[in-house]
Amino acid sequence: MSALAKTLRWPRKRDDAQRLALWTSTEIAAATGGTAYGEFQVSGVEMDSRDVVAGDLFVALKGEAMDGHRFVDTAFANGAAAALVDRPVDFPHVLVEDTTEALHALARAARERATARVVGVTGSVGKTGVKEAIFTALERSSRGAAHRSVRSYNNHVGVPLSLSRMPAKSRFGVFEMGMNHAGEIAGLTAHVRPHVAVVTTIAPAHIENLGSEEAIADAKAEIFAGLQKGGTAVIPADSPHFERLRDAAKAQGAKVVAFGRGAHADMRLLDAIPRVEGGALVTAAMGDLRLCYTVAEPGEHWIDNSLCVMAAVHAAGGDLGAAGLALAEMGGLKGRGARLRAKVPGGHALVIDESYNANPASMRATLAQLGQTPATRRVAVLGSMKELGDFADRFHAQLAAPVADAGVDYAVLVGPEMLALAREMGKLPRDTLGNRFSYAHCENAGEAIAALQEFGLAGGDVVLVKGSNSVGLSRVVDHFAAREG
């Protein structure tokens, strides 16, 4: 039989006859309770007119300071096929009373029609990277039939937007859920309704609003309330809040799978051998199953993340071999571990871009990673950690020891909260040559760039750039990216 004949005889699936369009005008109107003006199909959903591409449905959201209806013309100029609006426009559209409520309704309709296995991911640290790794593994094993929330679309707008984009033919969906206050994840998980709910770790992020790590654990545990019957909770075995998370999951009738290094972990680390080029060769056990795979991302935290990924993929019914390949090939995300080589006098400097987010746990983990990275000199550009409230001075000051342990030769501390760390730096003991620790305190990213220029980077240096997104340290990374080569 010829190759063509074999292809024509390929077994057909029930969903093969489904159209390629994401939504039709009739479906959007039915889901939102709106009225369609014009007959159309859309291939995507977008809320930012600048990001609209050909075939998108533009959702004109209204906020306190911005009204998306002002940008309808721009959206159609960029190729929008239709708009979701609360007033008539001179383009194909669905007219609704409230566009935000309509987006939520469209998300519910997307979840209702889905036959996909759905994974929800939350946690204080690492949730975006873990979400990307789980997605990459499930995309491989489903031959491209996996969907995920892009970027960090993890809030009350990003989650429904991501759900509304999920094709009906998806076999897997992976959604990130974040929060600043108690009760927020409860609303998100009610939308997502995951079959697998993942908590990466618990750390004092957003402690300003929640008051304690216990309260943070409880807020993250809200994800279990949305679990489908017979669902699985994947939780960190080595967390001091393990029992709290386990009990919350069991209260929802979930099967609990713990990942980590402790003897009670279900997905348990047996061994991790560092690789010369970074990352590690990991051996893990899950019952009688033995796994050996490579983790490309450097740092001890990524060894733990990999166990989480493996547990989640297994619980979702994905292929563990595909998960191993995904972990072996993953590179860092922009703002979350991406690495670039910048031209400097004498060669190149390696720049580690962690500019998108920071909290005490992720700062410590990333500084430890910096300390393990071969370098002529190590430079740390550290921005303020936000949303720590009354705990801010203490948590910033406590970074002095991790900075010293990482062998940092020069630290650039950016933002008012970093004054607490600067004071601790001045107390550090002199080195063996009697030199004081070298650091500078800056108000903003522009001053940080100037401080680095004055310091004088050279070939072989490694520069870590990490801080909360609002500090704007991505500008420092962009400065180096312009010299990448």
CATH number at residue 254: 3.40.1190.10
Burial of residue 97, with CB atoms counted within 10 A of its CB: 0-12 exposed, 13-18 middle, 19 or more buried: exposed
Residues 364 and 218 in one domain: no
Is residue 299 domain-shared with residue 446, that is, in the same domain?
Answer: no
46 and 176, same structural domain?
no
Q: Is it the case that residue 13 has pLDDT exceeding 90?
A: no
Domain presence at residue 29: yes
pLDDT 10s digits, 238-287: 999 999 999 999 999 999 999 999 999 999 999 999 887 778 999 999 99
Note whether 300 and 348 are same-domain residues.
Answer: no
Q: Is residue 9 one of the residues assigned to a domain?
A: no
Statement to judge: residues 399 and 275 lie in one domain = no
- 198 plus 272 within the same structural domain: yes
For 102-154, what is each residue's pLDDT tens digit? 999 999 999 999 999 999 999 998 899 999 999 999 999 998 999 999 877 89
Domain membership of residue 395 (yes or no) is yes
The answer to the question of residue 351 being in a domain is yes
Q: What is the mean pLDDT of residues 315-330?
A: 94
In a domain, 109, yes or no: no
Whether residue 359 sits in one domain with residue 267: no
Whether residue 419 is predicted with pLDDT greater than 50 in this model: the reply is yes
The CATH number covering residue 414 comes to 3.90.190.20
How many CB atoms sit inside 10 A of residue 229's CB? 8
Q: Do 122 and 216 fall within a single domain?
A: yes
Average pLDDT estimate for 30-43:
97
For the chain, the three-class secondary structure string (H helix, E strand, C coil) is: CCHHHHHHCCCCCHHHHCCCCCEEHHHHHHHHCCEEECCCEECEEECCHHHCCCCEEEECCECCCCEHHHHHHHHHHCCCCEEEECCCCCCCEEECCCHHHHHHHHHHHHHHHCCCEEEEEECCCCHHHHHHHHHHHHHHHCCCCEEECCCCCCCCCHHHHHHHCCCCCCCEEEEECCCCCCCHHHHHHHHHCCCEEEECCCCCCCHHHHCCHHHHHHHHHHHHHHCCCCCEEEEECCCCCHHHHHHHHHHCCCEEEEEECCCCCCEEEEEEEECCCCCEEEEEEECCEEEEEEECCCCHHHHHHHHHHHHHHHHHCCCHHHHHHHHHHCCCECCEEEEEEEEECCEEEEEEEECCCCCHHHHHHHHHHHHHCCCCCEEEEEECCCCCHHHHHHHHHCCHHHHHHCCCCEEEEECHHHHHHHHHHCCCCCCCCCCCCCEEEECCHHHHHHHHHHHCCCCCCEEEEECCHHHCCHHHHHHHHCCEC
- Classify residue 265: in a domain, yes or no: yes
Task: Say yes or no: 415 and 455 in one domain.
Answer: yes
Same structural domain, 394 and 255: no
Domain boundary among 329, 362, 397: 329
At 9, the pLDDT band (50, 70, 90 cuts) reads low
| Domain edge (last residue) among 308, 329, 350 | 329
Is residue 305 scored above 60 in pLDDT? yes
Give the number of domains in the chain.
3
Q: Which domain holds residue 126?
A: 114-329
Taking the CA of residue 151 as centre, how many other CA atoms within 13 Å lie in the half-sphere pointing to its CB? 8
If asked whether residues 126 and 71 sit together in one domain, one would say: no
Q: What is the CATH number of the domain that holds 62?
A: 3.40.1390.10
Query: Nearest Cα to 296, choosing from 142, 133, 481, 143?
Result: 133
Do 77 and 130 belong together in one domain?
Answer: no
Paired sense of beta strands 82-85 and 56-59, if any: parallel
More confident call, 140 vs 209: 140
pTM of this structure: 0.81
pLDDT of residue 63: 85
Final residue before a domain boundary, out of 36, 68, 98: 98
pLDDT number for residue 209: 75
Instruction: Confirm whether 12 is domain-assigned.
Output: no
**Does residue 11 form part of some domain?**
no
